[in-house]
Amino acid sequence: MRYVGLKKYLYFLILIFIMFLLTAFLYIKFDQVLQTTSDEFQNLKVHEIEHNALSISRILRFLVGDLSSSSGDILKILRKNDLLRHTIDTLLSAFINDENRYVYIVYEDKGHNFRYLADGSMDKKERGFFGQKFFPLQEKKWQKAFNLDRTTIFMQESIDNLWITMLAPLHIFKNIKSFLVIDLSTMAYKNVKSIFLKLKHFLKYLIIFFIAIFLLIATLYFFLYREYRRTFLDPLTGAYNREFLTQLEKNIDLQKYIVAMIDLDYFKLINDLYGHDVGDEMLKKIAKTIINTISYKDILIRYGGDEFLLLLQKDKKEDFKSFFDRLHRNINETALSLRDSSTLKTTSSIGINLMPNLEESLSDAIKKADMELYRAKNSGRNRFKFYETQDRKVGGYISFNKISQLVKEGNIELHFQPIYNFRTKQIDRYEALARLRDGDTLYLPHQFLIAIFQTNVYREFAKQVVRQAFEVIKKERVVISINFNKSDFLDEEYFKTIKELIERNKSYRQFLILELLENEELKIDDEKILDKIKYFQRIGCKIALDDFGSGYSNFNYFLTLEPDIIKLDGSLIRQLDTNPNAKKLIQSIVLFAKHIGIETIGECVEDEKTLQIMERLNIDGAQGYFIGKPMPYLQREPFEVFGRIDTDAA
């Protein structure tokens, strides 16, 4: 099932979920980030403290160095010298700020007690007196620091408002071991931490926000989904309804689908004989069978009472004939058990339009499929029929089985139409045109290609054409172009077949031109096709754009496809002599093409005058009945039919 229009909500939901996961991940990892930042900050502060300690010890050395060395006992000196004590206290107090909360010097006496030597605290309550015992809470760490006589830093966990304590040994007082102590307040750390905590709170609210948005969109999605089903799905069969078809018609890309109408044979009889309940059950079963047979990309619409419209994606590995064989068989085998233990089955008729992209709209494409359904019913029902274009009918009917047989037997003939080079005045390449021979009858491509399009027979046909073209290239060393539909390359199997053949003929790739027909639009964003076409270009083949200047061709192709050659549309070439605007248009195209290094060839050249104008317009090559008709052999000289003409006179 395809929920057109609902997908964006689903994508948004997924996006919100991903964002939620990311935010949640960040939130979970936040403590780790905080720890890392805190460690970094701690390192920074420690570095700062060490720097302070160094400065203090230098000044102290300057202040007491001589005194200490002369008398030998700093304690005695300090005990007697109030002024010196006051000077040291004042010095230490200069280093006290909001972050360095306490700065003081502690020494170890003979009894291994810690005592204040000096204290920079200005608050009387906090100030330690000279000689006063000092009782650290983490005594073992202090002892270790004194024993090792090296800088030690540790976190304060049980003292309010203190974060880190640093002990830096002062090697300036003889006979006593003293340490400069700096207690760092939690203020700085708290400031950093509070910023992070605010961020963490923000993340928390963001998570809540995402959850709320997620729930909101999920609820919205649920209601829309319910509404969608109510509006666009047929409640009985679960297939789409006509309302969906109306919506679909606006934006469907017909190039990607084939259209089939399925009708259950004599279904009215089931309703009449067994009642509508049984009829409904049967319809449900059949719809289920069809849904199980098609892929999720395909679209099944209940078109009428017992009529279904099937839009089948073209990119299937299975060929369409086999697919419809299977679908037809599955429908016919669907059985409904009745109350009397008997089973009820029905047959079906299917009309198929393989080329809906040739129609103006989906409605027209459906009409063609419906016409074919009508024909299938008129031919005795319980069958499927492929729609054939008017052109094909004029040329004579040829059945799928017949084409399949002819292709398998290798009755494909290549005819070559010469292309004249204005510069060399010679024929320098040919366009290969396939024909199907059935005894004396020769079928043209439009008479058989539609019927086999996207089938295994089509792939086999293409394979034989490319193989024959390479045989001629190898033998004659001539450049040959082969026609392809752009959408051919949507078919993976087809692409693989052609790719293998071209890759195998490594030395002759440069002689092969892939000529892309202009009967279907190639969307610029259809990168799948573009990539495949460009692949052939990369490995040495040339790419030509057919019928340029008409149909779906546009200048964007120059930029996206970057063709080597463009073949100017025959309808424009024919008007060269009579329509000045056609001439101007051709002139512009040629000028632009020359400018970006693309070769130009004019098609449908049927007279000498046109040829002369083309040469004057600086077109590189010409192709048409005037040069030479498609023949089963390579025509070496131009104008064989009309006799040699003096092109130099043009």
x/- mask, another protein, residues 257-296, rule CB under 8 A, reads ----------------------------------------
Of 135 and 633, CB closest to another protein: 135
Counting residues that bind another protein (by CB under 8 A) gives 22
Q: Give the CA-trace dihedral at 40, 43, 49, 54, to 10 degrees.
A: -140
Instruction: Please give the C-alpha separations between residue 68 and each of 77, 93, 176, in angstroms, as whole numbers.
Output: 8, 22, 11
135 binds another protein (CB under 8 A): yes
Residue pointed to by tokens 């008409």: 550
Q: DSSP labels for 403-414? A: HHHHHHTT-EEE
Give the distance, in angstroms, between the CA of residue 203 and the centroid of all CA atoms in the same chain: 31
Of 158 and 424, CB closest to another protein: 158
Q: How far is the C-alpha of 248 from the C-alpha of 267, rounded, in Å?
A: 28
Q: How far is the C-alpha of 464 from the C-alpha of 445, rounded, in Å?
A: 14
Of 30 and 134, CB closest to another protein: 134
> Contact region for another protein (CB under 8 A) — 1-9, 129-137, 270-278, 394-402?
129-137
The DSSP bridge partners found for residue 348 are 264
We find the least distance from the C-beta atom of residue 120 to another protein, in angstroms, to be: 11
Of 163 and 495, CB closest to another protein: 163
Of 127 and 523, CB closest to another protein: 127
We find the least distance from the C-beta atom of residue 80 to another protein, in angstroms, to be: 17
3-state class (DSSP) for residue 2: coil
> Which one of residues 89, 91, 100, 128 is an interface residue with another protein (CB under 8 A)?
128
> Which one of residues 158, 292, 342, 390 is an interface residue with another protein (CB under 8 A)?
158
We find the least distance from the C-beta atom of residue 161 to another protein, in angstroms, to be: 7
3-state class (DSSP) for residue 185: strand
> Which one of residues 111, 580, 597, 643 is an interface residue with another protein (CB under 8 A)?
111
We find the least distance from the C-beta atom of residue 133 to another protein, in angstroms, to be: 6
x/- mask, another protein, residues 292-331, rule CB under 8 A, reads ----------------------------------------
Of 126 and 391, CB closest to another protein: 126
497 binds another protein (CB under 8 A): no
> Contact region for another protein (CB under 8 A) — 127-135, 317-325, 405-413, 444-452?
127-135
Q: How far is the C-alpha of 553 from the C-alpha of 519, rounded, in Å?
A: 9
Contacts of 319 (CB under 8 A, 6+ apart): 454, 455, 456, 457, 458, 459
Instruction: Please give the C-alpha separations between residue 116 and each of 112, 121, 173, 185, 260, in angstroms, as whole numbers.
Output: 13, 12, 14, 20, 101
> Contact region for another protein (CB under 8 A) — 123-131, 301-309, 400-408, 454-462?
123-131
3-state class (DSSP) for residue 239: coil
x/- mask, another protein, residues 173-202, rule CB under 8 A, reads ----------x-------------------
Select from 356, 339, 479, 355 the least CA-distant residue to 419. 479
Helix (H) or strand (E) holding 457: helix 456-476
Of 160 and 525, CB closest to another protein: 160
3-state class (DSSP) for residue 283: helix
Check if the beta carbon of residue 362 is closer than 8 Å to that of residue 425.
no
> Contact region for another protein (CB under 8 A) — 131-139, 230-238, 358-366, 489-497?
131-139
Tokens of 242: 């006509």
Q: DSSP labels for 267-279? A: HHHHHHHH-HHHH
Helix (H) or strand (E) holding 544: strand 542-548
3-state class (DSSP) for residue 631: strand
> Which one of residues 2, 81, 95, 136 is an interface residue with another protein (CB under 8 A)?
136
> Which one of residues 159, 212, 273, 641 is an interface residue with another protein (CB under 8 A)?
159
> Contact region for another protein (CB under 8 A) — 62-70, 151-159, 316-324, 633-641?
151-159
> Which one of residues 35, 36, 97, 113 is an interface residue with another protein (CB under 8 A)?
113
Please provide the distance, in angstroms rounded to a whole number, between the alpha carbons at the two ends of the chain: 63
CA pseudo-torsion sign 235, 239, 242, 248 = positive
Of 121 and 610, CB closest to another protein: 121
161 binds another protein (CB under 8 A): yes
147 binds another protein (CB under 8 A): no
Tokens of 445: 């491509």
φ/ψ of 121, rounded to 5, equals -65, 130
> Contact region for another protein (CB under 8 A) — 58-66, 126-134, 457-465, 502-510?
126-134
We find the least distance from the C-beta atom of residue 137 to another protein, in angstroms, to be: 6
102 binds another protein (CB under 8 A): yes
Check if the beta carbon of residue 240 is closer than 8 Å to that of residue 343.
no
We find the least distance from the C-beta atom of residue 129 to another protein, in angstroms, to be: 6
Check if the beta carbon of residue 220 is closer than 8 Å to that of residue 204.
no
Interface residues with another protein (CB under 8 A) are 102, 104, 111, 113, 121, 125-126, 128-129, 132-137, 156, 158-162, 183
